Amino acid sequence: MSPLAFVLTLSCYRRWPSRFSTPYSHNLLVLFSSTATTITPPNGKESPSSGPAPPPIRVALTESTGRAVFATRRIGAGDTIHTAKPIVSHPSLSAITTVCYFCLKKINAVTASQSQGVSFCSENCKESSKVFYDVEKKADWLAFDDYCRTQGLKYPLLVKRLACMVISGAAPAGILDILQPANLTQGMILKMEEGFHLLRNALVKANIGDEHMSFLTKQWYTDVLARIRINAFRIELAAGVYEDLLSLASASIEAEAAVGNAIYMLPSFYNHDCDPNTHIVWIENADAKLKALRDIDEGEELRICYIDASMSCDARESLLSQGFGFKCNCLRCMSGD
């Protein structure tokens, strides 16, 4: 299972006492304020007084876990805490003909617009894709895509798309620097070199000038890939309206709806717990929704599960150690469940 695959098998959960009840202290450093969300009245019509409002969270530094996300007011079970658009996303190679090349929404063949073999769900997505696609379509990606396909790799595709965004001027080269990187061994770095050379060669052959590619060094490639390795979200779509989170999660699992991967800013600041109080879902496209799994008190830390929470304790410990480099000390793991 890829890092941060958050469609949880909720039916396998057993409720545990919360270990998040300690409020944040005033000496924590606030790092980030999310993009405002719009509050719409019950009648569905916005009034002059219903302007943008910030989500009920803040990001702060803690001594034990570094960055963490805390509730600034009580949040009810099932409430949407905030939404997030990806910094960069890319469809999986197996789904590339069935989803929008920009937003990853499943394609309706009747309404889809096409461009050089890829499809977009709308003219708006086709226009929005120009931040990377005007550069990307100049190059021949056959060798790079074959490398990813034969090696079973997906994260280099995100690096490719980000590189095209930087070249087009749509994103700074250091946009992911704030995210925590994975620890890479020398052997892992050596394995990444082939992907770097294939990426750079494709752009050089497309006559992308050196002045636009000065950032694209082996160091940049490995640094970005190191951050993507532990911050990438696997996008699981569950189209439709569901009455509760259990139905939503079950629908995603039954549909085997993985369509791609994405990197987000604020969701990457959530810490892990094997019995989380927060869940991330995708309804129609790569826009993420963070929802409360239960009632959350003001000051409580919000946590998500980085892996399939229905796995055994030993399996979870192994996956978290190998994939994320830490030993989980949540109540479930400490009890051996």
Q: Which residue has the tokens 């509760």?
A: 244
Q: Using CA atoms, how far apart are residues 36 and 80, in angstroms rounded to an integer?
A: 13
10 Å Cβ neighbour count for 205? 12
Q: Fold for 54-83+263-307, please state it.
A: Beta-clip-like (2.170.270)
250 or 80, which is more confident: 80
pLDDT (tens digit per residue) in 192-225: 999 999 999 999 999 999 999 999 999 999 999 9
Q: Which residue type is seen at 89?
A: S
**Lowest-confidence segment of 124-128, 133-137, 160-164, 311-315 by average pLDDT:** 311-315
pLDDT (tens digit per residue) in 37-49: 333 333 444 444 4
Q: Mean pLDDT for the chain?
A: 81
Backbone angles phi, psi at 298, to 5 degrees: -55, 135
Three-state DSSP at 177 gives coil
Q: What is the pTM of this model?
A: 0.80
Residue 116: its pLDDT value, please? 67
Residue 47: its pLDDT value, please? 46
Domain ranges of the chain: 54-83+263-307, 85-231
Q: Identify the helix (H) or strand (E) that includes residue 134.
A: helix 130-136
Q: Is the pLDDT of residue 126 over 50?
A: yes
* pLDDT bracket for residue 323 (50, 70, 90): confident
Sign, CA dihedral 38-42-44-48, equals negative
Q: Which residue type is seen at 47?
A: S
Question: How far from 321 is each of 169, 275, 314, CA to CA, in Å?
Answer: 37, 17, 11
**DSSP string computed for 192-204:** HHHHHHHHHHHHH
Three-state DSSP at 90 gives strand
Closest residue by Cα to residue 152 from 7, 319, 315, 2: 2
